[in-house]
Structure formats: C-alpha cells, structure tokens
Amino acid sequence: MLRAVILTILLSQLVFATPQDASTPWQNSSLIKTSTVNEWCRHCPDWNQTSYSFKLDDGTVYVGQTHKKLDVMVNGHTKLRFEKDGHVGDYMHIIDDGGQDKKLKVIEKIAPDPILKQRATEPLPQANQHR
C-alpha cells in the first residue's frame, strides 16, 4: 500500500512538472552601463551590489543585479536570455567575455524611446547640392 502511494506521488510529479529549461532563446545585447552600490543584504556578507544595464536590438533595456563582478565590457556585445518572460523579479542569463553563463536578477525594464526609434527609421536629409 505504501509503495503504491509513493509511486503515485512520484508519477504525479513527473506529469505535472514544468521543464527545467523553460527559457527564452538567446538574444543579442550590449552592455550600456554598470553601477555598484554598497547596500545591506541579509543573506550575503558582501554588501556590494552591481547593476548591469543591457540593451537589446529592439531598444529595450533590462537592468540585472548581482553581488558579483562580471567579466563584461561596457559597450561590448553579449548574448542574453530570460528564464521565464523577462519581467521584473525574473532571472536573466548572460554570456560573459570569458564564455561563462552568469545569472542576474531582473530589477528594471525600460521601454525603447519612441522618438529615438522614429529618428532611427527616418531617411537621412539630403545635402544641398548647389553648384
């Protein structure tokens, strides 16, 4: 009887389990800003928290935070993916300059500036060609 109950519990966990790698695909991004603050953290002895701002190709900026310094270059390009859907509180992964997958908590999401986006799609003005 006990074996049947244990087997039922184990099988139900397999049926209703979510995939471990339910993440979004890797996207191109560039690191546009870093900032480090000395904030208290109850679960770590290291109080420094570093925020990294990554800009995606569509102009959306995601700010991720970690207690560790990452090997990434400002204005450098990297790959980024989200564990879920990229909302604040989710986690994102980046590939650092050493090729390592690093995990950061998403603390802010900034929409692209519509004016800058419009200017980027407008044709450049033609120069006056008086001769």
Comparing 2 with 52, which gets the higher pLDDT? Answer: 52
Asked, for residue 8, whether it belongs to a domain, the answer is no
Is residue 13's pLDDT more than 60? Answer: no
Q: What is the 3-state secondary structure (H, E, C) of 7-20?
A: HHHHHHHHHHCCCC
Q: What is the pLDDT of residue 38?
A: 77
For 38-77, letters b (16+ CB in 10 Å) and e give eeeeeeeeeeebbbbbbbeeeeebbbbbbeeebebeeeee
> Residue 125 in 3-state DSSP?
coil
Asked, for residue 29, whether it belongs to a domain, the answer is yes
- For residue 67, what are the domain limits? 21-114
Is residue 25's pLDDT more than 70? Answer: yes
Total domain count, the chain: 1
pTM over 0.75, yes/no: no
